[in-house]
Amino acid sequence: MMALVVCAVLAVLYVVGTALRDLFFHPLRRVPCHLPWIAFPLLRHISAVRGNVDLDIKRWHERYGPVVRFSPDEVSFISPEAWNEIYGRHDRRHSLPKSKFSNSNTADIINANDRDHARYRKALAHGFSIKGACEQEPTIHGHIDKLVAQLQSSADSRQPADLVTWYRLTTFDIIGDLAFGEHFGGLDRGRYHPWVAFMTRYTRLIPFFNAMDAYPVIFRTAFAFMSTSFQAITEHMQYSRALVQKRIHSVSSSVQGRPDFVDSILRQRGTKNELSEREIEANASVIIIAGSETPADLLCAVTYWLLRTPEVLRRVREELRDAIATPADITFHAVATKLPLLTACLSEALRLYPSVPGGLQRVTVSPITLLGFTIPPNTQVGLHQFAAYTSPSNFHRPESFLPERWDPKVTNNPASPFYNDNREVFQPFSAGPRNCIGKNLAYGIMRTALARVLWEFDLELCSESENWHVQKTYGLWDKGPLLCQLRRREGQK
């Protein structure tokens, strides 16, 4: 009994001593912070597992300023200068390597060290280049045609359509086709492929794995009771492996007339940029999730905000229907050059709803000064996108959907209320040598799909989705249904 009492007292003393050290004697003690999260860092992980951490960090920035310490060894920034200081190219002495999402996987393009990341990026470069995206344009249009056909059926039935589901089915089918030369059949069946359904749920586990790295005893014990999740992860990895193996050992899709991403990877065989089969397997899920969720997120967000702001929607429709005569005229080039307001709406939706709401963290390897604060080694630092993009210190009326803030005539007018917006802080695809390789492809898909939907249909937001933008986050947004009533555009049959 006495031994238990002694152990309990020692445990309490350890917790209290650690809290006092982190609050008053830590090298980061001068950085503004939310004291309970520093004293008891488990609270930060509980917030993340519950889907609240990004909303909480946004609140801490509103309360404490542009630099916030939100755990003993993590600091968040929202100033434009942070992009270059944290993510830009540095000399070797002050390089800031990527922080891993979790210790559970180190072989993919997100978690890889800088050397392997550069190798993966070169192997994938052609597939995600502007030229590569244009080569894939007919395939992308084919899937968007299927989306339109399904939405036409919904319109004719006069039943609400959940655009979250339909946009996701579209982008997953597109990326599956572009990556492996074989789509998932979601648009054909009107429902998720089991592998895709798992991946949309898997993102909820990301904060749990991070917490398991920080508190292995507590969270591994909890995970032991989540047998269904463990089994699902095992089945997911087996399917990923089978999908990649099938593609690697099949006839090259370029021989069939259309190269896919795996072709781009396999062309590196025998070079210094060659990827092992294990690395290809590890990157397969990342390509599918990142390549699908990013455009699906933004398509949902921009549709929602357009339906919430009828005057902006009216102007976008006028621009679109004046510039585009037929669906065949909706091409990558046309939507990029003829529809500036639509593009501004995409930027504004991405500001309010960045695909990665949190910070893409880096790790300091030596003492470094960031925005006036001395940051010690082994500190995770990052620009928190959601907090930065919705901060009044960076944008006028930051919580409002105002696409005119991106109009060059407005941004260059000193009399405009948007003139002093810190647009340099807006880097939704990140910055520096590890920025998102899929930016060109994502914009091509998003512009084209949105233009086609708005050209074909008149839409009305259902009352059930009036507050759709109020969401939790688990690394990515946890999207609820976006219910809309669709009507075929007058004169469309």
Task: Return binding residues.
Answer: 436
Number of H helices, E strands in the chain: 22, 11
- Residue 256: CB partners within 8 Å, gap ≥ 6? 181
Q: How many CB atoms lie within 10 A of CB 228?
A: 8
CA nearest neighbour of 253 among 169, 176, 305, 353:
176
* Degrees, nearest 5: CA angle 226-231-232: 100
Angle at 100 between CA 97 and CA 103, to 5 degrees: 135
Tell me the CA distances in angstroms from 175 to 179, 254, 396, one per residue in order: 6, 16, 36
- Under DSSP, the state recorded for 157 is H
Alpha helical stretches, state H, 204-309: 206-214, 216-224, 227-248, 261-266, 277-308
Assign 9 to helix, strand or coil: helix
Annotated binding site for heme: 436
- Burial pattern 412-437, b for ≥16 Cβ within 10 A else e, equals eeeebebeebbbebbbbbbbbebebb
Q: What is the 3-state secondary structure (H, E, C) of 297-330?
A: HHHHHHHHHHHHCHHHHHHHHHHHHHHCCCHHHC
- The angle that helices 216-224 and 227-248 make with each other, rounded to 10 degrees, is 90
Decide: residue 69, CB within 10 A, 0-12 exposed, 13-18 middle, 19+ buried: buried
**CB-neighbour burial class of residue 152 (10 A; exposed 0-12, middle 13-18, buried 19+):** middle
DSSP 91: -
Question: CA 334 to CA 235: how far, in whole Å?
Answer: 42
How far does Cα 210 stand from its chain's mean position? Answer: 17
Structure tokens that stand for 134 in this block: 């244009």
Tokens for 1, please give them. 């009994």
Cα angle, residue 280 at apex, residues 276 and 286 outer, rounded to 5°: 145
436 within 8 A of 429, measured Cβ to Cβ? yes
What DSSP designation does 393 have? T
